[in-house]
Amino acid sequence: MNLELKNKVAIVGGASQGIGLGIATALAAEGAKVVIAARREADLILAVDKIKAETGNEVSYVQADCRQADDCKRVVDITVARHGGLDVLVNNDGAPPVGPVLGFDDTAWHKAVEQNLMYPVRMVREAVPHMRKRGGGSILNITAISAIQPIRELGLSVATWSGVIGYAKTLSLELGEFGINVNTICPGYIDTSRLRKVFASGTESSESVQDRLALEVPLRRIGTVEDIANLVALLVSPKGSYITGTAIQVDGGLLRGVR
């Protein structure tokens, strides 16, 4: 299917590896002009080379720390200066530390809020005026299944990403009249380094972690980065423009609730 993303301008955060890299690759493969952002420049350079090699399409990077307000503004400003506008914003980054929720002090909570909640708030604030000039656009946030089905010791992520879902829903109500859709993806167990970091027990191998977690999933497999990226590409494209205000789990059936 042609998703009609050719020459659309997209920013993808946290795209030097993992889910962000997969999303950036999927959008570039559809012909979008992609700008990726992350904190580590060396990783960004490698990611740009990888995406270009796989897709043959235009991609560039901006080194930035999403926890800094000035950096959020700079990413959008540079993107618009390079490409003349902005159509798609994908807010994606890593996650705060893992541990008992009562074990985190105010400093840890402040950092989590800056990283998980204020990052999308700031990026959206900078991006929306440019989308309105284009007559529309798409905003998509990556959170996690834990935001709607909490998991022990992920309290920092649960609390802040739940806030993102509420923020995005409100945003969808206020931006719909401008042709801007807003959605949130809640990945389940996805094959990334984060999965092993959070769920590995002692010296357990990567394969053992995946086998154990896959037994919890009705589809009996761990998700791939492509499982997330393919849905994102649809939702931010003109083909998905009537979908807004959703929080969609991509989890192989892991979510146990009915909603």
> Given pLDDT bands bounded at 50, 70 and 90, which one contains residue 87?
very high
Q: Could you read off the pLDDT of 49-86 as tens digits, one per residue? A: 999 999 999 899 999 999 999 999 999 999 999 999 99
| Residues 137 and 86: beta-carbon distance below 8 Å | yes
| Residues 75 and 14: beta-carbon distance below 8 Å | no
Average pLDDT value for residue range 198-213: 82
Burial of 242: CB neighbours in 10 Å, binned 0-12, 13-18, 19+: exposed
CB count in 10 Å sphere of residue 169: 16
| Residues 26 and 229: beta-carbon distance below 8 Å | yes
Q: Could you read off the pLDDT of 123-151 as tens digits, one per residue? A: 999 999 999 999 999 999 999 999 999 99
> Containing H/E element for 38?
strand 33-38
Report d(CA 231, CA 253) in Å as an integer: 16
Average pLDDT value for residue range 13-23: 97
Question: What one-letter code names the amino acid at 187?
Answer: P
CB count in 10 Å sphere of residue 69: 15
The whole-number pLDDT of residue 259 equals: 67
Is the confidence at residue 103, as pLDDT, over 90? yes
> Containing H/E element for 256?
none
pLDDT > 90: what percent of the chain? 89
Is the confidence at residue 40, as pLDDT, over 70? yes
The whole-number pLDDT of residue 153 equals: 94
Q: What is the pTM of this model?
A: 0.96
Report d(CA 179, CA 139) in Å as an integer: 11
The tokens for 22 are 């997969």
Is the confidence at residue 201, as pLDDT, over 90? no
SS3 for 79?
A: helix
Q: Could you read off the pLDDT of 172-182 as tens digits, one per residue? A: 999 999 999 99
Catalogue all structural domains in the chain, each as residue range(s) with its CATH number: 9-188+224-250 (3.40.50.720), 191-222 (no CATH)
The whole-number pLDDT of residue 140 equals: 98
Report d(CA 107, CA 111) in Å as an integer: 6
Report d(CA 72, CA 121) in Å as an integer: 10
Length of the chain: 259
Angle between helices 225-235 and 18-29 (to 10 degrees): 50
Is the confidence at residue 200, as pLDDT, over 80? no
